[in-house]
A = this chain, B = another copy of it.
Amino acid sequence: MSHYLVITGGVGGAKFALGLSTTLPASDVTFAVNTGDDFEHLGFHISPDIDTLIYTLAGLNDTDRGWGRREESWNFLSTLRTLDEETWFQLGDRDLAIHVYRTSLLTQGKTLSEVTDVIAKKLGINHFLTPMTDQSLRTVVVTADGKLPFQDYFVKYQSKPIVEAIEFSGSELARLSPGVSEALANDDLCGVIICPSNPYLSIDPILSIPGFRSLLSEITVPVIAVSPIIGGKAIKGPTEKIMNEMDLEAGCSSLSVARHYQDILDGIIIDTVDTEQSEDIAALGLEVSVGETLMTSLQIKQDLAQHCLSLIEKINRSIERC
């Protein structure tokens, strides 16, 4: 028996998670999902990264558009527009059902963990998804134009404002969700995987939960990451722009990602196009493994998942664990 804790954000993480979920049995994985992007909109509790993961693992995601549900319609939103109501956040008619259902269960007093589990199971997902926390921990982007809640920065202002810093409002009171804590306490835990998500916007919120980062730095099982940067570019979203704005010594690169996670990582997978960075990353004391990380097919996703498991096994063998 072996168990893996997988820390993930939205689209990129979900692609990787799909590879892993079709590689490992349901009982072997805990997907801990970023909820720093969650927000209240029109009275609904919206959990964008959880939804992305759920839609992807359930095979309901729109692969052409890259977000939301497939076979989506937009009549709710177009009607809302006739009422001059805020429509900057794209709410599809099918997507909306999830938000309404989630909000309804939360209002009844269920935790986000419980609600997430119910929704995932009802949509036929066998693997275990859990929010990083059941408390409110909100990503706030400090920009040259002032502080912006994440969705305002990302959707309303299309990631245009220059990022100066990122804060996690409420993190001091947040606790890891029961599902994450159980995975960490699982005797069969043999590795922690950080998905190829935005380190600053998608993974840092999770690492900001008090005690989690130091726990990962001390944990006896390997912690590895898949770099979301390929040849100095991010596949999607504002990762590249943010990393360039952050005045990092190595700019937008896998080396910068490795440095960002340096205190908690044992190993990292970088793309073959970044092979030349291997030496610098290895110098940080990390096991570096090179492979294809651009997940354009299910086969590549599964190969990357297998690559992660192999890297964990290699690190474990080297320290005679698992």
Contacts and interface: CB of A to CB of B under 8 A. Distances in A.
A97 B80 contact: yes
A216 interface: no
Copies of this chain, complex-wide, total 2
**Residue of A42, A43, A100, A123 with highest tally of chain B CB at under 10 A:** A100
A133 interface: no
A79 B104 contact: no
B94 A75 contact: yes
Contacts of A84: 122
Contacts of A107: 43
B93 A76 contact: yes
A227 interface: no
A43 B107 CA distance: 9
A80 B101 contact: yes
Interface string A175-207: 000000000000000000000000000000000
A119 B79 CA distance: 12
Contacts of A78: 94
Interface in A48-100: 71-73, 75-80, 82-85, 92-94, 96-98, 100
Contact of A100 (B43, B75, B82, B123): B43
A103 interface: yes
Nearest to A103: B43
A97 B83 contact: yes
Nearest to A100: B42
Contact of A122 (B72, B73, B82): B82
A93 B78 CA distance: 10
Nearest to A124: B82
A73 B93 CA distance: 9
B79 A98 contact: yes
Given A42-B104, A43-B103, A97 B122 contact: no
A79 B103 contact: no
Contact of A80 (B83, B85, B100): B100
A303 to B, nearest CB: 32
Nearest to A94: B79
7 contacts: A73-B93, A75-B94, A78-B94, A79-B94, A79-B98, A93-B93, A96-B96
Given A43-B100, A80-B101, 11 more contacts: A73-B75, A75-B75, A75-B92, A75-B93, A76-B97, A79-B96, A80-B100, A82-B122, A82-B123, A83-B98, A84-B122
List 9 tightest A-B contacts by C-beta distance, closest first.
A79-B97, A75-B93, A93-B93, A79-B94, A80-B97, A76-B93, A73-B75, A75-B94, A83-B122
